[in-house]
Amino acid sequence: MDQGNTGDGDLFGEEARSVELLWGERAGPSRGPKPGLTLAAITAAAIEIADTEGPAALSMQRVAKTFGFTTMALYRYVPGKRELVALMVDTAIGPPPDLAAVPGGWRPRLAEWAMRFWAALVRHPWATRSTAGHRALGPNELGWMDAGLRALEGTGLTGAERLDTLALVTSYVRGMAQQTVTVAGGPAGTDEHAMAKMIAGLVHRYGDRHPAVTAALAEAAAVPEAQETGLRYGLDRILDGLARLIDSRRHPERS
């Protein structure tokens, strides 16, 4: 069915073309020579470029060159870079986790959700920025949202509170992922890599003026899992507060 004729374009605005691609509503090229590419192949190539060379290296021309195509030929498959990045994000994040087998109720399930989301973002340093702000969501990303909300079922939280909880956890995880790739140093040419070099240079030259920063960074660098430990520490504090709220609803006499 041609969704473009239903008026849904008005609903999604400038993201309509991205939505059509992400959800399979946009067919492949209908004119010209027999298609020699697929959206999956184009998306995989774009992710490889962003992962290895940084997001600044990504362009429609650069992706087309990978296949020996002209840029205009690539536009027959993907309308533009905006739509390409939307495809990249949904593919890079991957299918949502199945948390049904995680024992212990809402808390370990939401914690597992957060750790897996963090891992997906860290694998693709460019994704921390690309998953922020107003944009089209694909089936994988909406599936992650659904999985996180289902982890909170049975808590007694309202629908609005479950959404706010997931937004809080998502924001925290994204921020920690950004910090992780900054400290670790992302692909050369990325802002994250440049920031890591800047911090290292400042500490090297002026660290004696800020001993607490120097000592903390040195200690963190000596522990390979320091970033994941920091993530779990902050996540546990968020979940502690959420647990108190849920418990107060279930047992108001304890409040």
- Predicted confidence at residue 37, as pLDDT, reads 84
Residue 28 identity: G
Residue 208 DSSP class:
G
* HEC profile of 49-66: HHHHHCHHHCCHHHHHHH
Spatial CA neighbour of 149 closest among 162, 158, 168: 162
Q: What angle do CA 69, 75, 76 make, to 5 degrees?
A: 90
User: Bigger pLDDT: 65 or 29?
Assistant: 65
Give the tens place of pLDDT for each residue, 48-91.
999 999 999 999 999 999 999 999 999 999 999 999 999 999 99
Spatial CA neighbour of 88 closest among 166, 141, 35: 141
Judged against a pLDDT cut of 50, whether residue 4 lies above it is answered with no
Record the pTM: 0.80
Judged against a pLDDT cut of 80, whether residue 153 lies above it is answered with yes
What does the mean pLDDT of the chain come to?
85
- Predicted confidence at residue 117, as pLDDT, reads 96
Residue 30 identity: S
Judged against a pLDDT cut of 60, whether residue 2 lies above it is answered with no
Spatial CA neighbour of 140 closest among 201, 99, 97, 184: 97
Give the tens place of pLDDT for each residue, 8-24.
546 788 889 999 999 98
| 213 — pLDDT class (breaks 50, 70, 90) | confident
CB 26 within 8 A of CB 20: yes
Cβ neighbours around 52 below 10 Å, total: 11
When pLDDT is averaged across residues 156-160 and rounded to a whole number, the result is 96
Residue range(s) in the chain whose domain bears CATH number 1.10.10.60: 3-92
Judged against a pLDDT cut of 50, whether residue 177 lies above it is answered with yes
Residue 138 identity: G
Q: What angle do CA 112, 116, 249 make, to 5 degrees?
A: 35
What's domain 3-92's superfamily in CATH? Answer: Homeodomain-like (1.10.10.60)
Judged against a pLDDT cut of 80, whether residue 209 lies above it is answered with yes
Residue range(s) in the chain whose domain bears CATH number 1.10.357.10: 94-184+223-254
To the question of domain 94-184+223-254 being in CATH 3.30.450.30, the answer is no
